[in-house]
Structure 1
Amino acid sequence: MTVQRILPSEEAEAIIDLARQIADAELAPRVSDYEARSEFPREVLRTLGQAGFLGLPYPESVGGGGQPYEVYLQVLEELAYRWVVVAEAVSVHTLACFPIATAGTDEQREKLLPSLLGGDLLGGYCLTEPAGGSDAVAMTTKATLDGDQYVVNGTKAFITHAGVADFYALFARTGGEGASGISCFHVPGDTAGVLPQRLEQKMGLNSSPTAQIVFDDAHIDRNAMVGDEGTGFRIAMAALDSGRLGIAACAVGLAQAALDYAVEYAKEREQFGRPIIQFQGLGFMLADMATQVAAARQLTLHAARLKDAARPFSREAAQAKLFATDTVMKVTTDAVQVLGGYGYVTDHPIERYFREAKVLQIVEGTNQIQRLVISRHL
């Protein structure tokens, strides 16, 4: 990766180096085969967990890595550079741990977080519904109190890690209409009545399992509620502020991979007696791509530094997610063009990068929603 990094500590440098080594040894050799077979790399996630990468931004006292978000996002970028599915998996897991880490009781944190962050367990995030889409407040999944248990009924859609997650952060309606009627729950993946459906056949991210999850009279303990009743929507939106930065970092890593591959190809491919990178039309295109990737990275890290300083960062997170994911779509599109016909065939990874880029403009809030968030802050 042709990136100069300025990291806040020697420890951070060692973490980034370790992430790069693991990515080169465990991710890069597997990606093509696993994507072709649509196989989820669960063992790779265990390896990352054992190395401490599934809990990097959470405190060491509960099993996390105690690292600034600025460092965590650069780890995600390194992973996405080799295999964006794995980086997205880490981002989703981090998102799923957020409710317990920030809104859970002391007892919940002490009991659950060490195993959630230690790598043995993998999480999913159950917010979106088939009819709701971007309108999360319109959710219809209900959790009805029955004695010492809640009975959950409803359907969640487009759930990453559906069927392979060991636990889900679930958002369901416990009260009336509106955001104040939504609560958050921690649900073990093997709970009776939690029914993952057939896997979605997607354009990209083939090795990442995505499906609807039906909750059919699923009984969960009353103490599985995270935070106070009616605070679930606020928890979900706070989690998404952080999650959007994770997706932005994934986008930057993928865009950098496409840029580097296009540059190397343009150096080697000769037409009319010279490398095509020497033609101004292509050279200027690559220069624009490089500038856009650098800008996306800095916007993402700026938002992370605000978060690390405990300052408001919601608008900046939306800006980073918007710009970085629009950038990766533009960069991968241009990378296909640089390779010409070779960019359209599976002999080169560029066509896969192109397909993977599109979904990043959709997940963790579509880019139209990001614009709505930004405009409201204005």
Structure 2
Amino acid sequence: MSQCPFFNSRVPLQVERLLSSANNWQFDVFKLADATQDHALSTLAFFLFHQADLIRKFDIKPHLLARFIRRVEDGYRPNPYHSKIHAADVLQSLHVIIHRGGLSPGYVDPLTLMACYLAAVVHDYEHGGVTNDYLINSSDLLALRYNDRAPLENHHLAAAFTLLKKPEYAFMSHLPKADTDRLRKMVIELVLATDMKQHFAILSHFTTVHRLGAANSVTPSHIVIPLDENERILSLQMALKCSDLGHVSASLPVHCRWVQLLEEEFFRQGDMEKLHSLPVSPLFDRCKPGITKSQVGFFDIVVIPLLNCFSRVFSNTKPLLTYTMRNYKYWADLQKMEQAVGNGNTSGK
């Protein structure tokens, strides 16, 4: 790895050790951010391109790839949650799901792998730290530009592909048009699927395609070939969605850190909503309980059904569900304890 052209000098030992653990189900991206002077995303992305031999296979000029990744990294704003560290975390999670979860090689040829990595890298590029609903309610220019339809996700994609048109970042400009068209289509499909408004529709579609609601219908683990092209893209969308929520399966301290960061980002939006006389979004008012008090419901409604469905089709991803249930138990026990304390206070009145 010391010969990797992305680095000007020998890779620090700590960074090398952290990158060597990038195949693990649980990964502390904050440690990589510290070790790389806040360049976890660019360091990890270039490493994964290099490790997968994508640079050689597609005859990519390393300096153009490195320059593009660094530019995207710099375009992530210093939000508490939707930051370049989050993008690195999603990238690492997607990498593991693909390579250890059973999607490779059946669902992922080299061009698709590059599309998946690229989608993870850019999926929150230039995120403003507010939700789509806020952009729509405040008549933000992005909402006007994209007609209130997934303004954030559309912007992440448009801004990233605009960069790729510039000669100094165009690391794929030499590829055949058929390849770049196919890659672009995949990246668009994947990133648009991260809009949580699409969550239940995508999950329902995946459940229907794989007949997961039928009795005793669980896809055998040895089946790793897509049913068709639509199902292949759908499964990759599910993989990125699982990765976007990847912190739910992290070690408890890392997971709790992410939840606290998201809560602070939500509170900051709530502050802005108050400032501009907009209705304050549920759980966004810092004077009231935030998402740290609603994790059990979030796991019950969103997280566990998603990971359960995905792991029934791709059984090698079951470690994600196992680690997630450990964190769920923490929130459930905490909720019970707080309820018991509340009941005790009430009975004492």
**TM-score of the superposition, structure 1-length normalised?**
0.27
Give the structure with the higher percent strand. 1
Q: Normalising to structure 2: TM-score of the pair?
A: 0.29
- RCO higher in structure (CA 8 A, sep ≥6): 2
